[in-house]
Amino acid sequence: MPAPGTLFLLRHGQSVLNAQDRFTGLLDPPLSPIGEDEATRAGALLSSASFSPDTVYTSTLTRTRDTARIIVDALGIQDVPVLAAWELNERSYGSLTGRARRELLTELGPEVFLFWRRSYYGAPPPMSRAELGAIRRSKAFAGLPPEAVLPTESLCGVVKRVRIFWHQHLRPRIRAREDVLVIGHGNSLRALCLVLGRLSHAEVEALNIPTGHPLLYRFAPGLVPLVPCGKYLNPLAARTAAALVAAAGGT
Pair 204, 228: CB distance under 8 Å: no
CA angle 73, 75, 79 (to 5 degrees): 70
Give the residue among 215, 212, 214 at the shortest CA–CA distance from 32.
Answer: 212
Cα 250 to Cα 74, 97, 151: the distances in Å are 29, 16, 22
Our answer to whether residue 167 is catalytic in this structure is no
CA 206 to chain centre: 15
Q: Can you spell out the DSSP letters for 122-187? A: --PPPPPHHHHHHHHTSGGGTT--GGGS-S---HHHHHHHHHHHIIIIIHHHHHTT--EEEEE-HH
Selected catalytic residue, list 38, 87, 90, 205: 90
User: 3-state DSSP call for residue 78?
Assistant: coil
Our answer to whether residue 185 is catalytic in this structure is no
Cα 149 to Cα 28, 89, 169, 190: the distances in Å are 13, 9, 21, 19
Catalytic residues: 12, 90
